[in-house]
Amino acid sequence: MFIRRLPRFEYHAPVTIPEALKLMARYGRKASVFAGGTDLLVAMKNREKVPEHLINLKGIAALKGIRFDEKKGMTLGALTTLAELERSALVKEKCRPLWDAVTMMASPQVRTLGTVGGNLCGAVPSADTAPPLIVLGASVKLVGPKGKRSVPVESFFTGPKESVLKKNEILTEISIPKPAKWASGAYLKLMRRNALDLALVGVAAYLRFDSNKKVCKEAKVALGAVAPTPIRVFEAEKALMDKEVNESRAAEAGKAASVVCRPISDVRASQEYRCSMVEVLVKRAILEAYKRVIC
Ligand SMILES: Cc1cc2nc3c(=O)[nH]c(=O)nc-3n(C[C@H](O)[C@H](O)[C@H](O)COP(=O)(O)OP(=O)(O)OC[C@H]3O[C@@H](n4cnc5c(N)ncnc54)[C@H](O)[C@@H]3O)c2cc1C
């Protein structure tokens, strides 16, 4: 078997954000930061990326940790691993669609190394944490030489493997607002096999109801792997707003989503199949989110 070695690189291990930014400024386009390396090292072995300097962010304590504050909500350090999210009772309780997503990602080994920040910064259309973070109203904090800025996850992605993140910026944390009362969500993922596979379609739904848990007062639906970036589908949300949620309304929302999605055909699935599955999974995700609110 032919095993490709990593190309040669110089290794740097900063322990603070300013130190990392200094290294990024010094080496510019010749450098790449990494966290778990589960995307970047594969790309380097395939010679898709050949950075001469690798800046490992994992020694920066300020980028770690899951915190919850009654006023601010949830804060996830960019280096939070997928396994840490999976093990977190707080994430399961307060950010259910995100918890659903990480339990279906990759393998235990990859989840142990891979981070939520790395999943977003890789910016692939099938990134599993993106649709849940969009429906949860999350934003990311980006820090660069000119200071900090906050960007909603919904407007973070600009194209396949492209985002608003500048080459000299680090994603430091993800903020998720405190969950509302009488609200819940779900993430469903279609794969060719039950584990270790990327999404053919990913669907996240979030619903908030009135105090009688009858009328839907807020609906958010986001899709992954069916457009150049993860997308929010307002047309599906309109089908639910200020209405009672039932099978036929959920089906209507599914139909609306299947009309606006723009998947490609590739070796993994055809465009037509992906559109049909969007219709099915949006309906199921909405009904699952509703079930979680009323149970
Ligand atoms: C076998 C296998 C299965 C996989 N399955 C899935 C799956 O089911 N679903 C899925 O969505 N993904 C999957 N992936 C992809 C990958 O594991 C995840 O996207 C993971 O979350 C990436 O995180 P990382 O920390 O390893 O990223 P890295 O490889 O360290 O970095 C990825 C990119 O983001 C940049 N970056 C990382 N952190 C930061 C930061 N804080 N600030 C700025 N830039 C940063 C890096 O420069 C690099 O360009 C899989 C990968 C493998 C190898």
pLDDT of 66-114, one tens digit each? 999 999 999 999 999 999 999 999 999 999 999 999 999 999 999 999 9
Nearest to 43 by CA among 83, 7, 78, 2: 7
Tokens of residue 35, six digits: 């966290």
Answer whether residue 4 shows pLDDT above 90: no
Please indicate whether residue 266 or residue 257 has the higher confidence score (pLDDT): 257
Counting atoms of ligand 1 from 1, which one is nearest the CA of 121?
A: 34
Nearest CA to ligand 1 atom 11: 127
What is the Cα 15 distance to its own chain's centre?
A: 26
To test the pocket of ligand 1, the residue of 21, 33, 38 to mutate (highest count of ligand atoms within 8 Å of its CB) is 38
- Quote the pLDDT of residue 10: 98
Mean pLDDT of 22-38: 98
Confidence label for 195 from pLDDT (cuts 50, 70 and 90)? confident
Mean pLDDT of 195-219: 95
Confidence label for 126 from pLDDT (cuts 50, 70 and 90)? very high
Residues with a CB atom less than 6 Å from ligand 1? 32-40, 42, 57, 78, 82, 105-106, 110, 113-115, 117-119, 121-122, 126-128, 165, 170-171, 196, 198
Answer whether residue 139 shows pLDDT above 90: yes
Which segment of 143-147, 148-152, 196-200, 204-208 scores lowest on mean pLDDT?
196-200
Average pLDDT, the chain: 96
Nearest to 198 by CA among 65, 39, 64: 39
Beta bridge partners, 176, equal: 74
To test the pocket of ligand 1, the residue of 17, 21, 55, 121 to mutate (highest count of ligand atoms within 8 Å of its CB) is 121
Mean pLDDT of 205-211: 98
Q: Measured between alpha carbons, how far is residue 91 from residues 18, 36, 73, 104, 192 in Å?
A: 29, 20, 11, 15, 27
DSSP code for 58:
G
Confidence label for 186 from pLDDT (cuts 50, 70 and 90)? very high
- Quote the pLDDT of residue 280: 98
Answer whether residue 1 shows pLDDT above 60: no
Counting atoms of ligand 1 from 1, which one is nearest the CA of 105?
A: 8
Nearest to 41 by CA among 29, 27, 51, 26: 51
- Quote the pLDDT of residue 194: 82
- Quote the pLDDT of residue 267: 87
Mean pLDDT of 17-29: 98
